[in-house]
Structure 1
């Protein structure tokens, strides 16, 4: 009987020792070497504008007279608040241009100035008719961050009627900036750009009357000109009276090759 107990005791001690051994920390296994994580940058995509045409939200004066001022402004509304502000700012400039002003005005302030000018004209003589203004806006082309806007104007002021007078503006949505042609032309290519413009200007002068040729400047300045772009290239737009009164409008189109030559490389890459 004692022998059996000794066997049992030995067995229990063996189990206890095995249990103690099992509690010893195991040597850590070598960790698998993971390859460095590759960070994939997401494409910086600007939100879709979702352009909606609508009448501009402006206040017009109450009129009890038969001959009241007629103002119709069709505008665009987008999902981009900055774009909406930019559109209204350019519209204000266009309205001011009809009455010879160039100030930092809101759209409503520009309308008020137009109304004031009309009232002053009517006050001179009873037969003087109030001004009329029809302004329409569209976005004919956009590419990545670059947006082209066209504003058309029909107006009648002091007996002078104007139809289809156009203005062009280009915006950079990413930097939230109104772009002039000098902003996108490579500094080293300005001489080349100037040669293209002057050559086109000379051809345009030949197609105008002798009176226009005599009054027109010898050289055309293009740094502040309206400009546009499409799938082929860029161009400049001059309203007829922007050069000399009673002249034809001038549109200068650059070929795709010329456009690639004169534009900054990063601009060309994103615009075409």
Structure 2
């Protein structure tokens, strides 16, 4: 990690259903133990891996003819879905604000991601499952922003990054590297991975919007996640967790 980040801790206590923890105590939901001591994650060919190349999760899309426009699963190497993320609207069928709900399987609600766009910025708010705001991020909306290669996830005071997301070119493709503070809860690391997928989806939507022209801000297909046809309801099949060692 970069100089100035707090030093890492060595471990996190495991999730125990029914136990009472203090607010500062980390809990690890089932299926997310692999993230507990991970400081760096790479997204390449739709697969999240450790920096040593060990597969963590494959990104899968759930196909529903009348379901949410974004409905994804993170599947572990044992072919079990461990994280779900899908868009919901607080206004139901009548509209309202749309946000991403992130859950650890089978029923642990671990986070909410909200994105608000303006003429100059993409503003991201990350909350715990109980609605408590914890992190934020801001991406510029400008002609030159497609050259930006770093996204900083900030604490609520906005003073210091708690995670840094970096895009690196690899030939004609690109990979995305996530750097976390090691003392971050595993559940929040999973929510940040989900946040990136949501941001990529929204950027692709914006690139097709008349108000933003054809710019994709350089993040729409980073890491092999291609949302090019998402706005048209065609993903080329429900299973696209491909390219890595655990191609499904």
Is TM-score (shorter-chain normalized) higher than 0.5?
A: no
Instruction: Give the TM-score, by structure 1 length.
Output: 0.20
Larger radius of gyration: 1
Higher helix share: 1
Relative to its length, the structure with more strand (as a share) is: 2
